[in-house]
Amino acid sequence: MKGEITINPFALLKRGIVDENPLFIQMVALCPAIAVTTQAINGLGLGLATTAVMAGSNLVISCIRKIVPTTARIPCFIVIIASFVTAVGFILEGFLPDLNNALGIFIPLITTNCVVLARAESYAFKSKPFSSLLDGIGMGLGFTVALVVLGIIREFLGMGEIFGFTVLPEFFPRTIIMILAPGGFFVMAAIIATINYLRMRNKSA
């Protein structure tokens, strides 16, 4: 296919995790990010589930891209992504029921996650299978890292815990707002502002 995208494998992974992080740089999928990161373990679970879906769907979409009509690509993307989401949902329900219950509706909603659909449209449908797989893994891991960072900060400030383990003594005041939606947006804004400041300083150096 003409115009196929090729890139260094390490650059692909780095792009997804650092350079074009879906949450901190592209600022997409904010709704599930704010909703599930009241605890770091929930962020890790949703991030890894999304990574598995992105890697699998990117690979399949890339493999069939030459036989799928351009006009029917979006329905095909959704069917493929939904199939992987269903498989991931069954695995979580069978082996990690507590995490599955905690994530709730946000597992099925991976099907319509703009990160997943965007990579299918902008990359997997134009690229070779191996690079599409790496793109899915890189973007998924970038999403996971962002969710875990958000979860750690919010859980630490809001409950004095990290991954469920108490790290602050009981007498230390908890900031309950941090595990509510406003606290999530505040932490997100602080992280994005810090990243932008560091990037601007590096450019001017």
- The whole-number pLDDT of residue 85 equals 97
Q: Which of 62, 77, 49, 43 is nearest to 134 (CA)?
A: 62
pLDDT for 173 equals 86
Residue 104: DSSP 8-state: G
> Which one has a higher pLDDT value, 203 or 152?
152
| Chain mean pLDDT for the chain | 91
Residue range 164-181: mean pLDDT, rounded: 89
Is the distance from CB of 41 to CB of 165 less than 8 angstroms? no
The model's pLDDT over 76-133, given as tens digits with 9 standing for 90+, comes to 999 999 999 999 999 999 999 999 999 999 999 999 898 999 999 999 999 999 999 9
Given a cut of 60, whether residue 1 has pLDDT beyond it is no
pLDDT at 68 > cutoff 60: yes
Mean pLDDT (whole number) for 42-49: 96
Token reading at 162: 């990290």
Contacts of 117 (CB under 8 A, 6+ apart): 77, 78, 81
